Amino acid sequence: MDFLNILSGALGEIISPTTAAYALAALGLALHFGYTGLLNFGQAGFMAMGAYGFAIATLTFNAPFWAAVLVALACSVAFAFLLGIPTLRLRADYLSIVTIAAAEVIRYIVTTNQLTDITGSAGGLNGFAGGFYALNPFPEGTYNLGFITLSARDLWVRVVAWSVVAVCCFIVWLLVRSPWGRVLKGIREDENAVRSLGKNVYSYKMQALIIGGVFGSLAGILFTLPRSSVQPANYGTELTFFLWTCLLLGGAATVLGPVVGAMLFWVVLSLTQGLLYGAIGAGYITFISIPQAGQLRYIMVGVALMLLMIFRPQGLLGNKKELVYS
């Protein structure tokens, strides 16, 4: 077993674009759930809107990079309206049911064979990231960051992904310290009380749903760029639950919690994979096979989440005091 290799692989996960995408989508969930109390179980749907919006705009309509990004964002705003208009006047649990269903509807629509020309059906879409890599300012070559060596292309996608995450975190931080954010937190606690104080609760919930959804769709784009492909199978309900895991690991009502949670999630997955595969390869573990070990990793993440909820229910960065009263 090559421990150094396993460790550097795990460290590499911290700055991988996939981690950034998870962090950004979980940040959207933090705004939804942690600050506004909206139970969105369809964040994978928002990510799919972003990924497919971007890919289809590029491939079918030959849109330039920035236009494709705008199309993706517009798709997620439309999706948020579609989900929010019928459900945000109702109790919180209605939104959760509608979002989880809508995310699945999106996934089945893009998998439909009749739409193969546009969505690529189950095979997905490929080769739409050219516009993004054409913007790469880093000269060709390899870049050594100490624990990991990157190509110019890898470096570019990481720099962009984490810059987007940083900007979005900053925006969320500005928003939640503002009076606007205070109204959101009030809605989380008791929406009728906020209504009695003259705030249009429905409009605030819609704004929060849209902003979190836009973060989700940006995350969807970041998720597809390094692969330059979208696959419908990636946007199933388990993606949403991984995002919730990241959110709860880090702390729901925090700005940096989702980022820390996403990093931790991927480091743990990578470490356990490295260690298990290494141990199986070297013959230390004989009672499970490599594919079984892949499943075992997720079991371990689940156990970790349970332990966290029992011993540190507020998440890594959450405020313990807020939990005393819930």
Partner 1 sequence: MANPTPDESGTAGVRTDAVDYMTDTRPIASEPAAPGCRKRDPILVAKNVTRAFGGINAVDVEYLEVPRHKITALIGPNGAGKTTFFNLLTGFDQPNSGEWTFDGTSLHGVPSYKVSRMGMVRTFQLTKVMGKLKVIENMRLGATRQEGEKLSKALFKNIWGGREREITRHADGLLEKFKLDTKREDYAASLSGGQRKLLEMARALMADPKLVMLDEPMAGVNPALTQSLLDHVRNLKSEGMTVLFVEHDMHMVRNIADWVVVMAEGRIVAEGPPAEVMKDQAVIDAYLGAHHDVDLGAAEGIEVLEHQLAQDKESVVGTADEGILGHGITEQDGRDPDEGRDRKDAP
Q: Taking CB under 8 A as the rule, which mask of x and - marks residues 135-164 in contact with partner 1?
A: ------------------------------
Using CB under 8 A, pick the residue from 120, 186, 213, 220 that binds partner 1: 186
Q: How many CB atoms lie within 10 A of CB 223?
A: 25
- Closest approach, Cβ 79 to partner 1, in A, equals 19
CB 23 within 8 A of CB 165: yes
Name 53's bridge partners. none
- Interaction of residue 2 with partner 1, rule CB under 8 A: no
Choose one: 8-16, 115-123, 178-186, 304-312; the region binding partner 1 (CB under 8 A).
Answer: 178-186
Stretch that binds partner 1, among 43-51, 114-122, 190-198, 256-264 (CB under 8 A): 190-198
- Is residue 81 close enough to count as binding partner 1 by CB under 8 A? no
CB of 247 to partner 1, least distance (A): 17
What phi-psi label fits residue 198: left (phi over 0), alpha (psi between -120 and 50 degrees) or beta? left
174 binds partner 1 (CB under 8 A): yes
For residues 9 and 278, what is the distance between their CA atoms, to the nearest angstrom?
Answer: 13
Q: Is 36 in the site for partner 1 (CB under 8 A)?
A: no
> By the 8 A CB rule, do 134 and 127 touch?
no
According to CB under 8 A, which residues from 206 to 235 bind partner 1? 207
Q: Of 54-62, 173-181, 223-231, 274-282, which part binds partner 1 (CB under 8 A)?
A: 173-181
Q: Does the footprint of partner 1 cover residue 171 (CB under 8 A)? A: yes
Q: Are 47 and 239 in contact (CB under 8 A)?
A: yes
Token reading at 75:
């798709």
Does 325 participate in binding partner 1 (rule CB under 8 A)?
Answer: yes
Separation in Å, CA 39 to CA 73, 99, 123, 177, 229? 21, 9, 31, 22, 29
3-state secondary structure string across 213-278: HHHHHHHHHHHHCCCCEECHHHHCHHHHHHHHHHHHHHCCCCCCHHHHHHHHHHHHHHHHHHHHHH
Nearer to partner 1 by Cβ, of 73 and 194: the residue is: 194
Q: Which of 163, 178, 289, 292 binds partner 1 (CB under 8 A)?
A: 178
Is residue 183 at the binding interface for partner 1, with CB under 8 A as the rule? yes
> Under the rule (CB under 8 A), what is the footprint of partner 1?
171, 174-175, 178-183, 185-186, 188-190, 192-201, 207, 321-322, 324-326
